[in-house]
Structure 1
Amino acid sequence: MGTSRMFRIFVVLGSAFMILLIIIYWDDVGASHLYLHTPVSPGPKIPHPPPHHHHHHQPQTSRTPSFLSDIDAFVNQFLEPGTGEPTDPAPADTSNQSEKAEERYVPRREWKIHLNPVAAELRDRQEQRRRLLQEMCANDSVAFPGKNRSFDDIPNRELDHLIVDDRHGVIYCYVPKVACSNWKRIMIVLSESLLRDGVPQRDPLAIPRDLVHNSSMHFTFNKFWKRYGKFARHLMKVKLKKYTKFIFVRDPFVRLISAYRNKFELRNENFYRRFAQVMLRRYANQPTPPASVDEAFGGGIHPSFSNFIQYLLDPQTEKEMPFNEHWRQVYRLCHPCQIQYDFVGHLETAEEDAEHLLRQLRVDNVVEFPTSHRNLTASTWESDWFSTLSAEARRELYKLYEPDFRLFGYDRPDSILNE
């Protein structure tokens, strides 16, 4: 009888352990994506407690073991963050793979050894931006919907802008009209989600634009439910704790101008049908706008910038559907009061910030941020664009985007608001 009971106990324990391994090891949690030749890159500099030695066991009466704590312990084996400083030793070469894998995989180059630390000015800039976010999130004078909710309260559909790279331990929240195409390219290169002739694509600019914005190319938080089921939210928290999280932002008003120029001054059939026709009917005295964008442009018809702003300020707009991602506020896309970002880049300092970030992630030997030669919207154009709006409309628009101005350190545009 005792032997039979012990056998059943071993079967139950063995089954539970195998389920744990399948859940954690089958999919790409941390370095468990079976890419053991590439270690997870370190996160931001975090002081570590002294290591515990086996002969100094601490009593653990404060918490009882659980299935989720077992997950944490397992994942932590792979995700222990380093300092990211040049003095960190290069990771050991663990590229012992099968001959077949070696044939298709091109090993990464040796990690760069930086003799000089990151400039103090750049480190201070990041510290100021992170501190500002924390202060604004704790400041009652800055109020906006969803500010005080917990991460668990964020609906799954609102987590679709958080891209995860498990190979290097990176989470990127992309903001449209803030160089997100190039940052998405970098995330594809890092995650090796695009293969060419069996070899991961290494050149960001060689990735076609239609693939850059193809959701199947990116593993985002809102996809966790399908992959991890009831453990999805817990695993999100594990990765948010262990991975390096970054975001790039820009002046909110300039971002609106950029969105208008890109989506309504250029031929875009999708945006014409979904948004431009609505704007023309409601605000441009066009009860029957042209059926297609080609027909509209052929007749010189498209919504004005003033029509676009009217659309944003109209309460009816969000009653019908949430703002499109190209003009949705950053605080709604990336939840900066629920997610503590380790790096906050500004488009206005994009080149310096990109170099600093890639070096902090220790992937600057793997990929470089593509230099954009496209016609960028300049902040000096703001007064010209907004001169077509009434003073009341300009002030109402500022109220709509004020949280983004204050969270990310952009000055109140008094010259525009007081004209």
Structure 2
Amino acid sequence: MGTSRMFRIFVVLGSAFMILLIIIYWDDVSASHLYLHTPVSPGPRVPHPPPQPQPHTSRTPSFLSDIDAFVNQFLEPGTGEPTDTVPPDTSNQSEKAEERYVPRREWKIHLTPVAAELRERQEQRRRILRELCANDSMVFPGKNRSFDDIPNKELDHLIVDDRHGIIYCYVPKVACTNWKRIMIVLSESLLQDGVPQRDPLAIPRDLVHNSSMHFTFNKFWKRYAKFARHLMKVKLKKYTKFLFVRDPFVRLISAYRNKFEMRNEDFYRRFAQVMLRRYANQPTPPASVDKAFAQGIQPSFSHFIQYLLDPETEKDMAFNEHWRQVYRLCHPCQIQYDFVGHLETAEEDAEHLLRLLRVDNVVDFPSSHRNLTASSWEADWFSTVPVETRRKLYKLYEPDFRLFGYDRPDSILNE
């Protein structure tokens, strides 16, 4: 056997041994165990064949199969000789799945730079966050705590995609349904006939909001145990982190319209009945949302604002995520976000972000044709709310206004 052939074999075996050590060290951390070192902006990737659905068996790792897969990528079948590429094994794929599967497109070569206006917009938004978090000009609960001090249950809005090195903090009522769809497509966590789902709009809404579809920070404890916080910090440092926000008062109007002007049994029982009893002189409100709507009984927007300002509200439970402040959902003073999108500039921001993530050739942000709650409607919605109550509400959401660069709504606070 020649010296060159022996050297190649030693290289392959040595590399396989290192892979084995890595696998053992991370104690079978599933699909994420080799994505830990994914760069923030991954480079071009070669299209891969679709992953095969795995049977629900014991989670005991097969170290030998992992090593064999690693070694085989260097060997040409039937020769035992090293080679640069190996044709994908499609022997276990059905012909239909093979026909439906569309390999990832080649990475785009962007010949034109991102517009200076968009880059400056992001720099300004990040600068505002940095400055307000660094000085004492504004104080709010939890501002000065460390990341380690954030309870695990408060990290459930941070969705992680290890495949592309992305962390998304979702904010309800800020296009989060479509951004969750994109995260599912990118992470390839949803298979259809053994093929990853590529169309975001084909993912049903109820599945989009199913927690099992997303790997969030608050799930790290179950997977990584005592290494959880350390790995969170590693990923926060290495991955691209983003969130989308909107005018805080307009978000509240949108939440009220969606949860209380439409028939929603869960929200009626959990929140509307409480508002009706406390503020609408309805000691025994209808038992169901259908009966309430039939009788024309529902909490007003003014009742909703009273509920938010009532000290008793959070004694019972924390604010629901649909009206909880963004600073409490996404912790912008503990997490240095790389991208801050605004719903008011959603299309431009989405295009910019997907290009920054180098996934604009993999997925497009779905266009929304639904009527959006407009900021110009604020005066109409708050017309039944006393001015003093409006000012108290602003103090409750002032950190969100200032952190994310929204002007103080003087037109409805100074009447």
TM bucket, shorter chain: 0.7 to 0.9
**Is residue 124 from structure 1 mapped to residue 83 from structure 2 by the alignment?**
no
> CA 1:354–1:159 in 2, change beyond 3 Å: closer, same or farther?
same
> CA 1:231–1:101 in 2, change beyond 3 Å: closer, same or farther?
farther
Amino acid paired to 1:29: S
Kindly indicate whether the alpha-carbon contact (under 8 Å) linking 2:47 and 2:105 is maintained by their aligned counterparts in 1: no
Counterpart residue number, 1:287: 283
Q: Distance in 1 between matches of 2:246 and 2:27?
A: 37
Q: Distance in 2 between matches of 1:262 and 1:237?
A: 36
For 1:13-68, what per-residue CA distance to the aligned partner results, in whole angstroms no more than 9, with x for missing partners? x9xx84863526642336x26xxxxxxxxxxxxxxxxxxxxxxxxxxxxxxxxxxx
**TM-score of the superposed pair, with normalisation by structure 1:** 0.81
Kindly indicate whether the alpha-carbon contact (under 8 Å) linking 2:129 and 2:403 is maintained by their aligned counterparts in 1: yes
SS of 1:403's equivalent in the other structure is helix
Counterpart residue number, 1:38: none
SS of 1:315's equivalent in the other structure is coil
Kindly indicate whether the alpha-carbon contact (under 8 Å) linking 1:159 and 1:220 is maintained by their aligned counterparts in 2: yes
Counterpart residue number, 1:335: 331
For 1:127-171, what per-residue CA distance to the aligned partner results, in whole angstroms no more than 9, with x for missing partners? 110111000101201111000000000000000000001111100
1:81 is displaced (CA, Å) by: 3.9
SS of 1:307's equivalent in the other structure is helix
Counterpart residue number, 1:409: 405
**Is residue 80 from structure 1 mapped to residue 71 from structure 2 by the alignment?**
no
Amino acid paired to 2:259: K
> CA 1:100–1:190 in 2, change beyond 3 Å: closer, same or farther?
farther
SS of 1:143's equivalent in the other structure is coil
Kindly indicate whether the alpha-carbon contact (under 8 Å) linking 1:345 and 1:354 is maintained by their aligned counterparts in 2: yes
Where in structure 2 are the equivalents of 1:17-416 lying within 5 Å? 18=21, 21-23=24-26, 26-29=29-32, 32=34, 75-76=36-37, 79-82=38-41, 90-91=44-45, 97-100=88-91, 106-416=102-412
Percent identity (aligned): 80
Amino acid paired to 1:115: L
SS of 1:291's equivalent in the other structure is coil
Aligned residue-pair number: 356
Q: Distance in 2 between matches of 1:100 and 1:315?
A: 63
Q: Distance in 2 between matches of 1:189 and 1:94?
A: 15
SS of 1:28's equivalent in the other structure is helix
Kindly indicate whether the alpha-carbon contact (under 8 Å) linking 2:39 and 2:239 is maintained by their aligned counterparts in 1: no
Kindly indicate whether the alpha-carbon contact (under 8 Å) linking 1:163 and 1:218 is maintained by their aligned counterparts in 2: yes
Q: Distance in 2 between matches of 1:125 and 1:102?
A: 47
Amino acid paired to 2:189: S
Amino acid paired to 2:371: N
Amino acid paired to 2:139: A
**Cα RMSD after superposing both structures:** 2.0
Which range is displaced more, 407-416 or 18-27? 18-27
**TM-score of the superposed pair, with normalisation by structure 2:** 0.82
Amino acid paired to 2:262: L
Amino acid paired to 2:39: E
Counterpart residue number, 1:418: 414
Q: Distance in 2 between matches of 1:314 and 1:267?
A: 24
SS of 2:32's equivalent in the other structure is coil
Q: Distance in 2 between matches of 1:231 and 1:331?
A: 26
For 1:345-380, what per-residue CA distance to the aligned partner results, in whole angstroms no more than 9, with x for missing partners? 000000000000001101111110011111110000
Q: Distance in 2 between matches of 1:101 and 1:217?
A: 25
1:111 is displaced (CA, Å) by: 1.1
For 1:310-364, what per-residue CA distance to the aligned partner results, in whole angstroms no more than 9, with x for missing partners? 0000000001100000000000000000000000000000000000000110111
Q: Distance in 1 between matches of 2:121 and 2:27?
A: 37
> CA 1:93–1:384 in 2, change beyond 3 Å: closer, same or farther?
closer
Counterpart residue number, 2:65: none
Q: Distance in 1 between matches of 2:115 and 2:234?
A: 31
Amino acid paired to 1:264: F
Kindly indicate whether the alpha-carbon contact (under 8 Å) linking 1:106 and 1:199 is maintained by their aligned counterparts in 2: no
Q: Distance in 2 between matches of 1:101 and 1:134?
A: 52
Q: Distance in 2 between matches of 1:91 and 1:195?
A: 20
For 1:208-234, what per-residue CA distance to the aligned partner results, in whole angstroms no more than 9, with x for missing partners? 011010000000000000011000111
